[in-house]
Amino acid sequence: MKTAIGNDHAGLQLKEHIKKIFKDLDFIDVGAYSEESTDYPDWIAKVALAVQKGDAVTGIAICGTGVGASIVANKIKGIRAALCTNSLMAEMARSHNNANVLVLGARVLGNDLAVNIIEAWLKSGFEGGRHQKRIDKISELECGRQQ
């Protein structure tokens, strides 16, 4: 499974840790590649666009708190990015919301917690059923149609 992963300067160390721990994932690393100050929208958009275009099945976006990254990723049509700070949020983001981009805050999560969150996210799958109706409503909002 191809996973796009990207970060701003604040997320570089966490991204590198994730890539070492999850060696079995086929990462598409879209940057950033240094700790020199950079603008998170430039990198996070690359993660979301890789998922939107089908170059990756899922994405992991990392910035300082995760807030900016989640805002950016969710601007891209078809992206359901979830900022998760614990394993339950990650599990529910996938199983109920069919999240295709996981967002992490490097300055608010330790490495071990981030790994636990990713593990929960990866092992979860979309349940469909009553949740599909809600995903369809989100898609309608993206298209500018109102309920």
Question: How many other C-beta atoms lie within 10 A of the C-beta of residue 112?
Answer: 10
Catalytic residue among 9, 17, 63, 84: 63
Nearest to 125 by CA among 80, 82, 102, 91: 91
Q: Specify whether 143 is catalytic.
A: no
Question: Choosing from 9, 17, 96, 143, which is the catalytic residue?
Answer: 96
Q: Is 84 a catalytic residue?
A: no
CA atoms within 13 Å, Cβ hemisphere of 52: 15
> Which residues are tagged catalytic?
63, 96
